[in-house]
Structures are given as structure tokens and as C-alpha cells.
Amino acid sequence: MTHPSYTAIHTPIRRTKIVATLGPASDRDGVLEAMLNAGVDVVRLNFSHGSADDHRQRLTRVREIADRLGRSVAALGDLQGPKIRIARFQSGAVTLAEGQAFVLDMAMDGDAGTAERVGCDYKTLADDVTAGDRLLLDDGRLVLDVTRVAGQQIHTRVVVGGKLSNNKGINKQGGGLSAPALTDKDKADLKTAVAIGVDYLAVSFPRSAADMQEARELLGAAGAEIGLVAKLERAEAVADTATLNGIIEASEAVMVARGDLGVEIGDAQLIGTQKRIIKQARTLNRAVITATQMMESMIESPLPTRAEVFDVANAVLDGTDAVMLSAETAAGDFPVETIEAMN
């Protein structure tokens, strides 16, 4: 008896790109080449960490390996932006208890923090908050309610306590902080990004199309034509359709930066906002990257959770052009396995 022959089933073509952040984990021997072999389409150079020479060396290695493998791998430079952070504690960390008073003191020495008060690197924060505002520290893990503002001191009451260590970020729920999108460090890093030859440049915390236009003018002054990616992290950026569309149209791509954005608008609002951003970007013919905690558990685990698998799949079904890995590949124990799982 003869059996009918069947055509072999080919591996589906993956149309959604994978962006992987470089860092100490990818610097280990053989890891970067294995990452590129596993399916990385874009490498991210995070200017929040590392020196100009670190970024130059990493990108040089990417170009060399990609040429040898016959692969096209793009480079995304990611500017830090005005990430507002507390200063440092004398002991390195403190524990805040629910209900206790805690002061953010703009005039305080940067290394003198205690369990009662700490300094801040954004010296005009007291001008941006009033009694009744809610501040979120360390990506929302700790919550403070502002009780009063006295000169350069912001007096708060701890709503959700916990361990607080040096240099953790501060967000204001609902947005409204006036820090400019491009700091002096960003302007210096922009020149570095141009010099080392990145293909795209991500601008952090833009509030409007004007912030993206400023970045484009700085690129023009540096003699570079590099695609701009707007990282949507501020509540103001997604507050209304006109502002969102303006930012999208002023960029070559946008990033749904779910970390800071989720802290500012809340997780319940973030779900629909992600879908709205992706839809608007596609309508306006711009690329869109979905980022933050895509496979966070794989920093320490060789396998993703089912929730992470569903999260990545849902972003793809929403129509995202790329998904991004951050600490998973920059500092995790399983960078190659993470890319293989995402692939």
C-alpha cells in the first residue's frame, strides 16, 4: 500500500522584530553572537548606563558579528531623558513604614539621606507639586502623598511603604512635571550616538511634537539623518488624540514604554492606551515598538511564564512592529534563551 506524499510544513516567517538591549550580560564571551544568531533584529544601546566608549565597543562588535553572519542588524541609541531620582542614603537604603512622614528635601546634601528625609537630583520638583499630589517611587513600588510644600521641602505621608535604596526614580501620578525632554547629558549623548553610527535615536519623555522637533534640529546640526523614536512615557503625551498624533507624526517610530507610562497613568489605563498607541501609529504609517517587562521573569529563569507568552502574543496581535527586551538581555542570566523564547 502506498501512502500519499505531503509537502513539508515550513517554519513561519516572523514579521515582528526583536529589539534587545546590550549590557554586561551580552558582554560575556560568545553571548552577543549567540543573541544575534537567536534572532535579534535591533540592538539597543541604553545611554542611561555605560560610557561612550562602552557603547562604541559594543556597536563595533555587533557590526563585525553581523557582517560575518551575513545579517542586517540595526542599532537604536536610547537617550536617558529627565529621569527624576532621589539622592542617596547614608546607609545605602532605608525602609519606609506605612503612615510615616517622609520629606523630599531639594536643599539636602546628596549623600545624607535618612529614614526621615532624602535629597533629589531635580531641584525644581517642589515647584511642580502641591498638597494632595501623589508621588510614586521606584516604578510605583512605594507611594507617597504630598501633605504640604514648604520652600524646597516636600512633606509627604507614606501610603505604600517598603525598602527604598539610592537613586530610585520619582514619578508624579497623572504627570505634570516640567523637566525638559532633552537634558545636557542627552545632548552630549546624541553627539556620541551620531559619532558611533546608530540607525535610530530614541527620545525619552517627550511631552509634545516640539520635543521631537528639537531632537531633529540637534541631529541636523550634527549633520546626521537618523530616524527618531518617541518613547511615550508621560501622561501628557497620551492625554488627548491631538497631542499623541502630533508626537507620532513628528517621529519615524514610537515606543510604548510601559514602565514609566504605567506608573503615571496606572495599569488599568495602560492596557487600553497600549492598544490605542499601536492603532494610531499604524493609521499614521509609523512603526511602533512595545517595551518593558515583556519577559521579565527570564532575568532569573530559563523559561517565560505563560502570562509573558500571552503578553508578547497580544502585542503582536495588536499590530506592534517590534517587541523589546531590556534587563532580560542586558543584565539577565539567560539572554540567549530569552531571545529564543521570544522568537
Q: Count Cα atoms within 13 angstroms, Cβ side, for 69.
A: 19
Which CATH number is correct for 17-81+180-342, 3.40.50.620, 3.20.20.60, 3.40.50.920, 3.30.9.10? 3.20.20.60
- With 0-12 / 13-18 / 19 or more C-beta atoms within 10 angstroms meaning exposed / middle / buried, residue 256 is buried
Cβ of 150: how many Cβ atoms within 10 Å?
10
Phi-psi map region of 218: left, alpha, beta (phi>0 left; psi -120 to 50 alpha): alpha
Task: Quote the pLDDT of residue 178.
Answer: 87
Asked whether the beta carbons of 124 and 90 are under 8 A apart, the reply is no
Alpha helices (H) in the chain, listed in sequence order: 24-27, 31-38, 52-69, 125-128, 184-196, 209-221, 241-249, 258-265, 267-283, 306-318, 327-330, 335-342
Could you tell me the three cell numbers for 264?
503615571
Query: Which of 56, 61, 71, 85 is an active site residue?
Result: 85
pLDDT tens column, 62-84 = 999 999 999 999 999 999 999 89
Residue 254 C-alpha from the chain's centroid: 12
Roughly how many angstroms between the first and final C-alpha of the chain, as a whole number?
41
Could you tell me the three cell numbers for 26?
551580552
Residue 43 C-alpha from the chain's centroid: 14
Active site residue 191: no
Q: Which of 31, 39, 44 is nearest to 71 (CA)?
A: 39
Q: Check whether 10 has a pLDDT greater than 70.
A: no
Cβ of 310: how many Cβ atoms within 10 Å?
12
Q: Domain limits of the chain? A: 17-81+180-342, 93-172
Asked whether the beta carbons of 182 and 214 are under 8 A apart, the reply is yes
Task: Please indicate whether the domains covering 17-81+180-342 and 93-172 agree at the CATH topology level.
Answer: no
- Percentage of residues of the chain with pLDDT beyond 90: 92
Tell me which CATH code domain 93-172 carries.
2.40.33.10
Q: Check whether 106 has a pLDDT greater than 60.
A: yes
Mean pLDDT in the chain? 95
Task: Quote the pLDDT of residue 83.
Answer: 84
Q: Check whether 6 has a pLDDT greater than 50.
A: no
Asked whether the beta carbons of 316 and 284 are under 8 A apart, the reply is no
Active site residue 85: yes
Task: Quote the pLDDT of residue 177.
Answer: 86
Compute CA distances 131 → 153, 172, 235, whole Å: 12, 12, 20
- State mean pLDDT over 27-34: 97
Active site residue 172: no
The pTM of the full predicted model, rounded to 2 decimals, is 0.89
Query: Which of 44, 58, 172, 286 is an active site residue?
Result: 44
**H/E element, 143:** strand 142-150
Rounded to 5°, the CA angle 65-66-67 comes to: 90
Q: Check whether 125 has a pLDDT greater than 70.
A: yes
Query: Which of 58, 207, 231, 258 is an active site residue?
Result: 231
Active site residue 306: no
How far apart, in whole angstroms, are the C-alpha atoms of residue 35 and residue 74?
14
Task: Quote the pLDDT of residue 3.
Answer: 54
Say which DSSP state 173 is in.
Answer: T
Range in 66-70, 120-124, 288-292 the model is least confident about: 120-124
Asked whether the beta carbons of 79 and 204 are under 8 A apart, the reply is yes
Asked whether the beta carbons of 51 and 82 are under 8 A apart, the reply is no
Q: Check whether 140 has a pLDDT greater than 50.
A: yes
How far apart, in whole angstroms, are the C-alpha atoms of residue 337 and residue 341?
6
Residue count of the chain, please give it. Answer: 343
pLDDT tens column, 83-97 = 899 999 999 999 999
Q: Count Cα atoms within 13 angstroms, Cβ side, for 52.
A: 13
Query: Which of 292, 320, 329, 338 is an active site residue?
Result: 292
